[in-house]
Structure 1
Amino acid sequence: MAKVVFIHGVAKQYLSEDSLARDVVPELMGGARLAGGPVPEPTDVAVAFYGDLFRPRDTRAGYEPAYDAADVETEEEFQLLMAWWAEAALTDPSVPAPDEPGTRGTVGWGLSQSLRIRTVRKALDALTGATYLRGVLDAALIGSLKQLTRYFAEERIREAARDRLTAQIGPETRVVVAHSLGSVVAYETLCQEGHPDWDVRMLVTLGSPLGMGALVLDRLQPEPLNRKARWPKPLRAWTNVADATDIVAAVRELRLAFGPRVTDVPVNNGSHMHDATHYLTAVETGRAVAAGLK
C-alpha cells in the first residue's frame, strides 16, 4: 500500500485517477523536496479518486450543465454561495460586501423566487469579479457548490467517496493529503471504526471547508458536540494549510473545532488561491508531508 494518499476536491468529474495523478504526484513530490525531504517515490503515492460519482449520467462525454442563477435550488446551496460572497468581500477590496446598500438587502431562503434569483445573480457577479476568481464561469461556481452540498445530502455519494479512500489506506500509509471537499471525506474516513492497522502520522488538509459551522462542521459524521469535533483515532498529527484569500477555506483555523493537535499554517497561492497544485508545491505543505514520512 502507498505511504502517501492524496484525495482531491470538487470539479474533477471528467478526470480519472490516472490523469489526476499525473498532475498532483509530481507536485506533491516537489513540495516535499523543497522542504528538504524525505521525498516519496512515485510508487509510494496513491490517488483516491471519487470525481466520477458526480459525473452526469447518460450525457455526451465532456458535457457540463450550463448552470445559471436559477439553478441554485436548495437552501444549503444558497447559504454556501452567500458564505463565499461574504468571505470574498472580507479578503478582496474589489468585492462589495453582501450587506452594502445596493447589493442584496435582507437575504434569506424565504425570499420570493424572483428576489432569490436576483440575489444569487448579484453574488455570482461579485464573486466572478473578485481578483482571484476572474475568468471563473458562473456554471463552474454553481457546479462546485452543488458538489459540496450533494456530498452531505446523498448518502450514496458520501459512502462511495469514503470507500474509495479506505481502499487506498493501508498499514504502510503514513500521510493523507486532502484538498477541499476531499478533506471532509478524509476526516470522516479516518474517524471510522474497524481499522486497527491504520497508523496515519499526518493528515494534511489544503483549502479545507471543514470549519464552516452549520454548512459543514455541524453535518460531519461523527457529529461534533457543541462544535467540538472528534479526533480521528488513527491520526497522530494534522497540518491544515490555507491561503488567506481562499473563500472555500472560509474558516482557516481548524484548531478550535478539531483540537490543539491541529497546526494551522497560512500560505500564499498567488492568483490561484484554491488550486490543489499550488497548495502542493508550497514548502509549508512539503514540510508537513515530509514530517509524516520521517
Structure 2
Amino acid sequence: MAKIVGVHGINQEFRGSNTIYDRWLPALKDGLERVGARLDSDHEFRCAFYGDLFRGRSKSAMGIPNYDASDIDSDWEKELLLEWWEEAAKVEDDIKGPADLSTEKATPRRVQKALNALSGSRFFGGVAEKIVISFLKQVGGYLHNPDLRQQIRGRIVEAIDQDTRVLVGHSLGSVVCYEALCQHPEWSVEVFVTLGSPLGIKGLIFDRLEPSPVSNLGSWPGSVKRWINIADAGDIVALEKELNPLFNGLVEDKLVYNGSDAHNASNYFTASETGEAIKLGLIDE
C-alpha cells in the first residue's frame, strides 16, 4: 500500500486525486533521484483529495462566483489579504505594500488596492481578482466551517493505511495534515513534510489550529518522529518560513528556491531538500 501520501492545497477544485497524482509523482521521483533514492513501485505514493468540496454548483455554469472587493466582508479575510499584499511587496520590487496592516483601516478602497496588487503580481500570475478572493474563502472555509473541516480531514483519514510512513502537505494541505495527525496519534506516520505551509501565520491560522496552541506553542503532530518544513523565500502563502519556534524547537526548517513559481507543488517536490525529507520515511530500520 502507500508509504507516502500527498495532500494538496487551495485552487484544486477542478482536479481530482488521479490528476494531482499524475502531476506530483514524476516530481516526487525527481526529488528522490537527486538524493539517490527511488520508489520500489508507483503504488507507494497516493494523493488524498478534497478539492471537490469547494467546487461550486453554479446554476449559470459560470464556475467561480464573480467575487469583487465587496465580498471580502470579514476582518479575517481582510487581514489575510493585507498580509499577502505586504509579503508580495517584500519579494517583488514593483509592488508597493500597504502602509498600515490594521483591519480598521481596511477600507473598500484599500481592499481593492490589495486585490489589484496581488492580481498583478508574479506570484499570482495575473489571475483575476475573483480567483484571489476564492483562495481567501477556501482557507477561511476550512478554518471557520466545522462540518467542512471534518469532511476534509476525513479524506486524509481515508488515504492513510498501516503502511503509510510519510505524509506530505502542500499549502492548506499542510494545515489539514497537521490537524489529522494530531487527531490520530495511533497512525504509523513517522515523517511529516510541509511544503509552502501557512501554519505559522499567527492570529489567522496558527492560533486557530485544532488542538489550540498552549502558551504560544503548537502541539506535536501525533506519531511523527521527524517534521521537515520546506519553504521558498518568495512564497507568499508561507508567510512565516520558520515553524521551529512555534512547535517547541523540533521542526527542521529548510529554504529552497523554486524560481518564479514559488508556491508550485511540483517545484517543491523536485527539490533535493524534499527528496531527503521523504527518503527518511523510505529507509527500513
Above 0.5 in TM-score? yes
Find the aligned partners of 1:107 and 1:217 in 2 and give their Cα distance.
Answer: 18
Shift of 1:187: 0.3
Shift of 1:201: 1.8
Shift of 1:29: 1.8
Find the aligned partners of 2:7 and 2:93 in 1 and give their Cα distance.
Answer: 33
Unmatched runs of 5 consecutive residues or more in structure 1 = 100-105
The counterpart of 2:109, out of the listed 118, 131, 140, is: 118
* 1:215 equivalenced with 2:204 (yes/no): yes
Q: In structure 2, what residue type is equivalent to 1:291?
A: L
1:239 partner SS: strand
Shift of 1:222: 0.3
- Is contact 1:183-1:210 (8 Å) kept? yes
Match of 1:102 in 2: none
Instruction: Write the deviation string for residues 177-218 of structure 1: whole angstroms up to 9, x where unpaired.
Output: 10000000000000014x52x221211100000000000000
* 1:77 equivalenced with 2:66 (yes/no): no
* 1:141 equivalenced with 2:150 (yes/no): no
Q: TM-score, normalised by structure 1?
A: 0.91
Instruction: Write the deviation string for residues 203-251 of structure 1: whole angstroms up to 9, x where unpaired.
Output: 1100000000000000000000122001022101011010001010000
Match of 1:279 in 2: 268
Find the aligned partners of 1:60 and 1:169 in 2 and give their Cα distance.
Answer: 37
Unmatched runs of 5 consecutive residues or more in structure 2 = none
Match of 2:178 in 1: 187
- Is contact 2:7-2:47 (8 Å) kept? yes
- Is contact 1:78-1:120 (8 Å) kept? yes
Find the aligned partners of 1:257 and 1:55 in 2 and give their Cα distance.
Answer: 33
* 1:164 equivalenced with 2:155 (yes/no): yes
Q: In structure 2, what residue type is equivalent to 1:250?
A: L
- Is contact 1:3-1:172 (8 Å) kept? yes
- Is contact 1:171-1:199 (8 Å) kept? yes
Find the aligned partners of 2:198 and 2:228 in 1 and give their Cα distance.
Answer: 14
Instruction: Write the deviation string for residues 79-121 of structure 1: whole angstroms up to 9, x where unpaired.
Output: 110110111122222211210xxxxxx564445xxx7221111
Find the aligned partners of 2:33 and 2:47 in 1 and give their Cα distance.
Answer: 19
Q: In structure 2, what residue type is equivalent to 1:161?
A: I
Find the aligned partners of 1:116 and 1:107 in 2 and give their Cα distance.
Answer: 11
Q: TM-score, normalised by structure 2?
A: 0.94
Residues 177 and 107 of structure 1: is their aligned pair in 2 closer, same or farther, counting only changes over 3 Å? closer
Alignment RMSD, CA only? 1.7
| Stretch deviating more after TM superposition (219-228 or 56-65) | 56-65
1:213 partner SS: coil
* 1:155 equivalenced with 2:146 (yes/no): yes
| Stretch deviating more after TM superposition (24-33 or 204-213) | 24-33
Match of 1:90 in 2: 90
- Is contact 1:128-1:134 (8 Å) kept? yes
Match of 1:4 in 2: 4
Number of residue pairs aligned between Structure 1 and Structure 2: 283
Residues 40 and 242 of structure 1: is their aligned pair in 2 closer, same or farther, counting only changes over 3 Å? farther
- Is contact 1:14-1:62 (8 Å) kept? no
- Is contact 1:29-1:40 (8 Å) kept? no
